[in-house]
Structure formats: C-alpha cells, structure tokens
A = this chain, B = another copy of it.
C-alpha cells in the first residue's frame, strides 16, 4: 500500500478529512449504511465538490451513483491516515485551562491519553486532585523522555511558553499544542499548532467591524 506523504495532501484537505472521519463515526453508530458527498458536505458546511476531491486524495472508494458506504469510507480514511494510533500527551501549566484539559473526557475517546501534568508552582501539584501524575516543571524533559510522550500541551502564561516548548523539545516530543498568543520556535521536525483564544476574539471582533462592501449574492 502506498504510504501518504505530507507533500501530496494539502493541509486543509487533511483537516477536513479528519472531521469527515468523526462524522462517519457518528453515522456508523446510528447504523447509517451509506452517505453521499452532498449529505456529508451539508452536515459539515463544506461543498460536496470539496468532499469528493478530499476523499479522492486517498484513492477511489465510493460507489458511482450510490454514494459512499459509511463503514468502508471510515476504514479507508482511518487506514490511510493511520488514525487509530494512540498518543501520549502531557499538559504544562495547571491553571484553570490546564486543569480543564487534564480532565477532558473526549480526548480519551479518540485515543489520546494524558500521562503527566506539570506546573512551576509546587502548591498546585499538591493541591490539585487528578488521576494524572503531576510533576514540578523542572522535571519536564526527564519525564517526557521516560514516558515517551508524543505531544505537549502548553497552557502557561505567554511569557513562559517558549521556555516550556524548549523543555518539551528537549524531552523529545514530536508535536506541541500552544494555547498561548505567543509564537514558539522549535527544532525542525517538531510540529506546532497554536490555539489562540484571545487572537480569535480579536479577529472576530475586527471582522465584525469591517464593511461588508457589496452584496454577496451571486445569483438571485
């Protein structure tokens, strides 16, 4: 089987494929047998064309005239993208946000397990009740290495983000989720995704303030 590479599949396509996969999981539980690109698109707010092209990056799998078999398409995407693999995460920063993530039940359902939490404040480590092992921040690199943690989630104040990232990279993580508004630099090969709530608020607010300038109506 041909192993897919980053180069041959656009990032937006990958992101959409993942949400299609989740949707298919729902359909599967609801015992739906088959769906069309139109139905999937309507449900996800994506054009059917796009769904079809996205799916076709992974090879043919649909039934001409009869849409996609739910089980088959799900398996197809899952296999090609190796989605059922588990990942070990850790959370750095145990403020309200970090604590919320620690106890997030949805992660587990998708194969993500949080195996450690860190904070520079020793009090918090002793106070917080959680099923996850908690450690002081200076042990990040060591624990990440020892437990072979794949992904680090940074939930510290902005100023401490780069330092946290450095320790994670030192420990050998291959991916980082950064909840800070601050850009973090890492070694090549370590992927970073930033989730910037404040930034999204600002973007939304700005968009709301700009002129619409002309109708968006294409056809009447």
Contact = CB atoms under 8 A, between A and B. Distances in A.
Contacts of A95: 100
B15 A203 contact: yes
A99 B104 CA distance: 14
A209 B5 contact: no
A183 to B, nearest CB: 5
A58 interface: no
A188 B212 CA distance: 12
A99 B96 CA distance: 8
Contacts of A54: none
Interface stretch (A117-125, A131-139, A163-171, A189-197): A189-197
A206 B100 contact: no
A150 B18 CA distance: 31
Q: Which of A8, A150, A202, A212 has the most CB of B within 10 A?
A: A202
17 contacts: A4-B210, A4-B211, A14-B203, A18-B199, A18-B206, A19-B183, A82-B206, A83-B202, A96-B99, A100-B100, A107-B198, A112-B201, A174-B208, A175-B204, A175-B207, A175-B208, A195-B200
Given A14-B206, A18-B199, A175-B205, 17 more contacts: A4-B211, A6-B212, A8-B213, A19-B199, A22-B181, A43-B183, A89-B201, A96-B99, A99-B100, A101-B197, A104-B197, A151-B204, A174-B208, A177-B200, A177-B201, A191-B208, A193-B200
Interface of A: 3-9, 14-15, 18-19, 22, 43-45, 81-83, 85, 87, 89, 95-97, 99-101, 103-104, 106-107, 110, 112, 150-151, 174-177, 181, 183, 185, 188, 191, 193, 195, 197-214, 216
